[in-house]
Amino acid sequence: MNGVSSYFRRLSETAFEPTEHVGGAWNPDEQHIAPVMGLLAHVVELEHAVRRPDVPLVLARASYDILGVIPMDAFEISPPRLVRPGRTIELVEVTLSHGGRAAATLRAWMLQPNDTDAISGIPLPTMPDRDTLPEWSPADVWPGGAIRSIDARRDAVAPGRSRAWIRPRHPLLDGEAISSRSRMLGMADFANGIATRVAPERALYPNIDLTASIFREPTGDWFGLDTSVSFGPDGIGLTESVLSDADGPVGTSSQTLTVRPR
């Protein structure tokens, strides 16, 4: 990764502050939710590694709800709460708050890994090789530090349909080991802005959630997004993506959109 600063700085065990690389696409004075999602996943995985060092589970599904905007200011993340304890399956929840107001939550299903190589199979579509796609600057379409913080190669297939490889230029946190799962979850939310159906000057279409299921540990720095964006006739949209690394698909994500013509 390039650059000298991370997306966030840790202030204490539960407090963090964003750097310039987290500025939002709809409003640069608000945090882009993509890096936030990666940070929430990291907090869950970090607590889990301390609490269950001998019998680790893996983060298989991450379900985020966006409860409000997050200013470019310091914030708190609650200690992970065990919603559903278990030996082989756990459900864990964390909440991000700013000024005492909850702004985002993550509910993470942690599952026991097993050797299923003999019966594995993945019918999801594969991404084209990264080098076959042209370089693309998302900052030509979107403002904000978060958009400027990624490298991208994209095949814009049609309005609302694209295949893109993206890579963060900065670490999530300086001095902390971040799993590939958390790094990918910190990139998944960019899908909605990479496969644009209409230009942001014509409509607002922020997502109010994101749910990702990951069935294999991602590898490498580049993540693939095979994305489709649908707008219904009544102001509701859906962004769906197949998530990949260089070895193939690793999961899927979906985002519910509120679509508002300007």
Lowest mean pLDDT among 54-58, 183-187, 212-216: 54-58
Number of Cβ within 10 Å of residue 125's Cβ equals 11
The DSSP result for 71-113, as a single string, is: BSS-EEEPPPEEEE--SSEEEEEEEEEETTEEEEEEEEEEE--
Give the residue extent of every domain in the chain. 8-113+132-261
Kindly indicate the confidence band of residue 1, based on its pLDDT and cuts at 50, 70 and 90.
very low
Kindly indicate the confidence band of residue 3, based on its pLDDT and cuts at 50, 70 and 90.
very low
Instruction: Name which CATH class applies to 8-113+132-261.
Output: mainly beta
Euclidean distance between the first and final Cα of the chain, in Å? 37
For 82-106, write each residue's pLDDT tens digit.
999 999 999 999 999 999 999 999 9
- pLDDT in the model for residue 55: 84
Taking residues 106-120, what's their average pLDDT? 97
Taking residues 108-131, what's their average pLDDT? 97
Q: Is the pLDDT of residue 160 over 70?
A: yes
Q: Is the pLDDT of residue 73 over 50?
A: yes
Provide the mean pLDDT of the chain.
96
Taking residues 155-171, what's their average pLDDT? 97
Kindly indicate the confidence band of residue 4, based on its pLDDT and cuts at 50, 70 and 90.
low
